[in-house]
Amino acid sequence: GENVEQHPSTLSVQEGDSAVIKCTYSDSASNYFPWYKQELGKGPQLIIDIRSNVGEKKDQRIAVTLNKTAKHFSLHITETQPEDSAVYFCAAPRAAGNKLTFGGGTRVLVKP
Amino acid sequence: DAMVIQNPRYQVTQFGKPVTLSCSQTLNHNVMYWYQQKSSQAPKLLFHYYDKDFNNEADTPDNFQSRRPNTSFCFLDIRSPGRGDAAMYLCATSREGTDNSPLHFGNGTRLTVT
């Protein structure tokens, strides 16, 4: 089965700085890697995803990079703002289909 | 507008007293999922329905059951809750059961077992 490891578990940054979260996965057949943001008292929300046919994807201040050879992918948040404070989860599909294995989560705190 | 709606947001039940959590969706998605999320942990898949086909995870306790009477609604039944079942329960949907269909989560029901 898929094993997804996520680091760091907590990340504190100053407003305006960048934040980087890294994940590794075990199943070389995985080809879809979503990132979810979970705010306090809410369910996870998809913020960006990447498929294995590209190495990088950007959406405004958020970017994701993928290294299939090394089996790791990263989330980059630039110009962080207080509203970026949340728990972020990476995920990878387990076998075929949409059954995701989530990383352990990263609690990001952006200090004003 | 909320598209995956979970009720109630907070549920308190007594040890051993059956409880049912509800989820409804306005997306008309084929697949509905139930996840359990304990404090400071990742969501853990309990089971999912592809249309009417029920798929149980191997390590989901027998204490947990689910029903999907129609496309829009899905229920999680906990027959005899123990204190270890206290958690946030998240419902999610996807149009299809492939990785081309992102998951849409509700805001969860936080279950307390007294």
B 37-56 residues with CB below 8 A of A? 40-45, 48
Write down the pLDDT at residue A57: 94
Looking at the predicted structure, is the pLDDT value of residue A98 above 70?
no
Looking at the predicted structure, is the pLDDT value of residue B99 above 80?
no
How does residue B31 score in pLDDT terms, banded at 50, 70 and 90?
very high
Query: CA of A16, closest CA in chain B: separation in Å?
Result: 26
Residues of B in contact with A45 (CB under 8 A): 105
* Distance set, CA B98 to CA A11, A17, A22, A71, B28 (Å): 32, 36, 24, 21, 16
Looking at the predicted structure, is the pLDDT value of residue B92 above 90?
yes
Residues of B in contact with A102 (CB under 8 A): 42-44
**pLDDT tens per residue across span A67-96:** 999 999 999 999 999 999 999 999 998 765
**CB spacing of A99 vs B106 below 8 angstroms:** no
Looking at the predicted structure, is the pLDDT value of residue A97 above 70?
no
How does residue A36 score in pLDDT terms, banded at 50, 70 and 90?
very high
**CB spacing of A44 vs B96 below 8 angstroms:** no
Looking at the predicted structure, is the pLDDT value of residue B98 above 80?
no
Residues of A in contact with B107 (CB under 8 A): 41-43
Residues of A in contact with B44 (CB under 8 A): 102
**CB spacing of A105 vs B102 below 8 angstroms:** no
**What distance in Å separates the CA atoms of residue B102 and residue A30, rounded to the nearest whole number?**
15
The per-residue DSSP string of A50-90 comes to EETT-SEEEETTEEEEEETTTTEEEEEE-S--GGG-EEEEE
Query: CA of A85, closest CA in chain B: separation in Å?
Result: 15
Write down the pLDDT at residue B97: 74
Residues of A in contact with B31 (CB under 8 A): 98
The CA-based angle A9-A14-A19, given to 5 degrees, is: 45
Backbone angles phi and psi of A83, in degrees to 5: -70, -5
Q: DSSP code of B3?
A: S
**pLDDT tens per residue across span B37-59:** 998 899 999 999 999 999 998 88
| pLDDT mean across residues, chain B | 93
Residue A102 near chain B (CB below 8 Å): yes
CB A48 within 8 A of CB A64: yes
Residue A98 near chain B (CB below 8 Å): yes
